[in-house]
């Protein structure tokens, strides 16, 4: 319960303080409305996951903490393969159901300390903190892919969906938040180009370009 207190000093006939009156007002409804507004601003209305802005805020906060010393962090950028075909063939309602079901599975696959967000459309992000090495990040990405293996019961059908995943790792948290997001996005597009349903690492992408 939230209360607002209004107090007033009452003086006697000689102008001396006599007593204080207080009025309590229940402002719980207003506080709840304010909290809901903040939640709506920072969360995706369909999946209830944090949205892009909230993800970037958390990424920058985590990066600032890691700059002071500690383990690395990483970004996983996931794009569902063939989602447009689901929307086109079964309709947007079925597409929304699929996104909600995918979000539920991803929540179960990430670690308690990871931040799962919906970037836009059929794209999801994961902020992975407290990483000992790049292997920790790629193992997380593989686990996310594996959680999609089972079919999704949507619109009286059993839909199968895969994902193209790009990851970007920062061992010392020096990369700005937007740069890490851009790198993971670039690696995800490479995964699309190489046949989908796979994981690509941005650092490996750089090495291949340098060798070309």
Residues recognised as catalytic: 122
Phi, psi of 137 (to 5 degrees): -70, -45
Only one residue has tokens 């903490």, namely 65
The C-alpha atoms of residue 74 and residue 77 are separated, in whole angstroms, by 10
Instruction: Give the three-state DSSP class for 152.
Output: strand
How is 62-105 classified by DSSP, letter by letter? HHHHHHTS--EEEEEEEEEETHHHHHHHH-HHHHHHHHHHHHHH
């Amino acid at each position: 319960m939230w209360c607002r207190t209004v107090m007033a000093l009452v003086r006697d006939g000689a102008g001396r303080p006599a007593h204080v009156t207080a009025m309590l007002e229940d402002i719980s409804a207003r506080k709840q409305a304010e909290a809901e507004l903040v939640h709506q601003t920072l969360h995706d209305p369909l999946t209830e996951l944090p949205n892009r802005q909230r993800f970037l805020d958390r990424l920058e906060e985590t990066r600032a903490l890691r700059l002071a010393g500690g383990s690395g962090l990483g970004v996983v950028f996931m794009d569902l393969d063939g989602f447009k075909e689901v929307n086109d063939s079964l309709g947007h309602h079925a597409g929304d159901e699929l996104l909600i079901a995918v979000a539920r599975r991803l929540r179960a696959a990430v670690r308690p300390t990871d931040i799962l967000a919906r970037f836009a459309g059929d794209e999801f992000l994961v902020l992975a903190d407290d990483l000992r090495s790049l292997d920790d990040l790629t193992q997380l990405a593989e686990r996310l892919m594996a959680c999609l293996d089972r079919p999704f019961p949507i619109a009286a059908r059993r839909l199968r969906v895969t994902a193209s995943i790009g990851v970007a790792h920062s061992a010392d948290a020096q990369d700005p938040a937007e740069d890490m997001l851009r790198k993971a996005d670039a690696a995800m597009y490479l995964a699309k180009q190489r046949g989908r349903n796979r994981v690509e690492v941005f650092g490996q992408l750089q090495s291949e370009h340098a060798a070309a």
